[in-house]
Amino acid sequence: MLQKLHQLKDKALQALKMVSDSEELESWRIEHLGRKSELNQILHDVGRLPPEERPAVGRLTNEVKLALETAYEGKAEALKRQELERALREERIDVTLPGRPVSLGRLHLTTQTLREIYAIFGQMGFQVYESPDVETDELNFGLLNMPPHHPARDMWDTFWISDEVLLRTHTSPGQIRVMRERCPEPIRVILPGKCYRYEQVTARSEHQFYQVEGLAVGHAITMTDLIGTLTEFARRFYGPERRIRIRGSYFPFTEPSIEADMDCILCDGEGCRVCRYSGWLEICGAGMVHPVVLENGGYDPDEWNGFAFGFGVERPAMVKYSIDDIRLFYGNDLRFLRQF
Ligand code: PHE
């Protein structure tokens, strides 16, 4: 029996040397160390041997088992290392391959223009105040001194959501919001944002566009402050040689109301297609904040006054970059957008 055990061990170790992958190793384990292996069988039968043989056979069987298990583990380790080396050799990453190009986005021309506007007004002490695109009839019109059925409402063709709710037609409702929030502090803010008008889309007008509103509320503010602010803006945005012209106008929420024109940057006031041979480009509507509007914002018009202005964002960018069709802004044509 002892000799048989020695043979069994030699045979198993011999077979292990031939094993070359993990599948073969598993078969080897089942055959030589598994439940149905010869070794296991012997271990099982030790009890049936004559008592004087039992200790020696038992001890040797355990020794053989331990030796085979140790050899098995050593082989498993060796195979694992071999596999790793093969993988390292064959599955090496080629770091010299050029990478896939990452496509870089860019800021939309409108965003760039808005940021330029924020920077200019920021230097003049104006904060940026954002207000919602979806507004109530009351804020867009009523509190701006246009009660229901006021004819001036016709100046803004409106996208209605319900009888009371609409898409803002201008950034002016933000005036009421900021006044109610800041009252009784003085105010110097710009209110940028998208506006919506139920209008035919043409090369000159879109039904969605950006405006920037300006609002200053304080004591003894004058029309001269307003004109100075607009002139300063025009010169910083378009160039130091620009001139401003003021015309009387009408808005229900300012009194008096004005419109400001700037000499045409393309022809220097000589007259061209862009300025329609007038030499002037309209830049904004403005005026002194109407007492009713101040009151609706919470300010006593006997003590407080202020100015407000509002201008579009795409049109100035069009003039500055010689863009002749406003529809290009939101047409999502990368050939256009990539130029800026
Ligand atoms: N809200 C006006 C418009 O959209 C512009 C404006 C703003 C005029 C502020 C006066 C004062 O046409």
Q: Both tokens of residue 187?
A: 């105010």
What separation in Å is there between the alpha carbon of 228 and the centre of ligand 1?
A: 18
Determine phi and psi for 103, rounding to 5 degrees.
Answer: -85, 125
How many CB atoms neighbour CB 187 within 10 A?
Answer: 22
Alpha-helix residue ranges (DSSP H) falling in the chain: 2-18, 22-33, 38-45, 54-90, 109-123, 137-140, 173-182, 223-238, 291-296, 314-321, 334-337
Task: Count Cβ neighbours within 10 Å for each residue of 264-282 and write b for 16 or more, e otherwise.
Answer: bbeeebeeeeebeeebbbb
Residue with tokens 């110097």: 188
Beta partners for residue 192, in sequence order:
212
- Helices 223-238, 109-123: inter-axial angle, 10-degree rounding: 130
What is the best residue among 131, 139, 170, 226 to mutate for testing ligand 1's pocket, by most ligand atoms within 8 Å of CB? 170
What separation in Å is there between the alpha carbon of 259 and the centre of ligand 1?
A: 9
pLDDT given for residue 228 in this prediction: 97
Alpha-carbon distances, residue 37 vs 6, 30, 161 (angstroms): 15, 7, 83
Residue nearest to atom 3 of ligand 1 (CA): 170
What separation in Å is there between the alpha carbon of 75 and the centre of ligand 1?
A: 86
pLDDT given for residue 298 in this prediction: 98
- Class of domain 109-337 as given by CATH: alpha beta
Give the angle subtended at the CA of 195 by the CAs of 191 and 200, to the nearest 5°: 155
What separation in Å is there between the alpha carbon of 242 and the centre of ligand 1?
A: 22
Does residue 306's CB lie within 6 angstroms of at least one atom of ligand 1? no
Does residue 212's CB lie within 6 angstroms of at least one atom of ligand 1? no
What separation in Å is there between the alpha carbon of 258 and the centre of ligand 1?
A: 10
Residue nearest to atom 6 of ligand 1 (CA): 310
What is the best residue among 156, 253, 282, 292 to mutate for testing ligand 1's pocket, by most ligand atoms within 8 Å of CB? 253
Beta partners for residue 135, in sequence order:
166
Alpha-helix residue ranges (DSSP H) falling in 34-53: 38-45
User: Measured between alpha carbons, how far is 175 from 150 in angstroms, rounded to an integer?
Assistant: 20
What separation in Å is there between the alpha carbon of 128 and the centre of ligand 1?
A: 17
Residue nearest to atom 2 of ligand 1 (CA): 310
Dihedral-angle region of residue 57 (phi above 0 means left; psi in -120 to 50 means alpha; beta otherwise): alpha
With CA atoms as reference, report the closest residue to 280 among 306, 314, 250, 244: 244
340 residues of the chain, pLDDT tens digit each: 888 888 888 898 898 898 888 888 889 999 998 888 888 888 888 888 888 888 888 888 888 889 889 988 999 999 999 889 888 888 888 888 888 999 888 999 999 999 999 999 999 999 999 999 999 999 999 999 999 999 999 889 999 999 999 999 999 999 999 999 999 999 999 999 999 999 999 888 899 999 999 999 999 999 999 999 999 999 999 999 999 999 999 999 999 999 999 999 888 889 888 788 999 999 999 999 999 999 999 999 999 999 999 999 999 999 899 898 999 999 999 999 999 9
What is the best residue among 139, 172, 207 to mutate for testing ligand 1's pocket, by most ligand atoms within 8 Å of CB? 172
Pairing, β 134-136 against β 165-167: antiparallel
Show Cβ contacts of residue 42 under 8 Å, excluding neighbours closer than 6 positions: 1, 4, 5, 8, 57, 61
Residue nearest to atom 7 of ligand 1 (CA): 310
Q: Both tokens of residue 208?
A: 């969605």
* 3 state SS of 259: strand
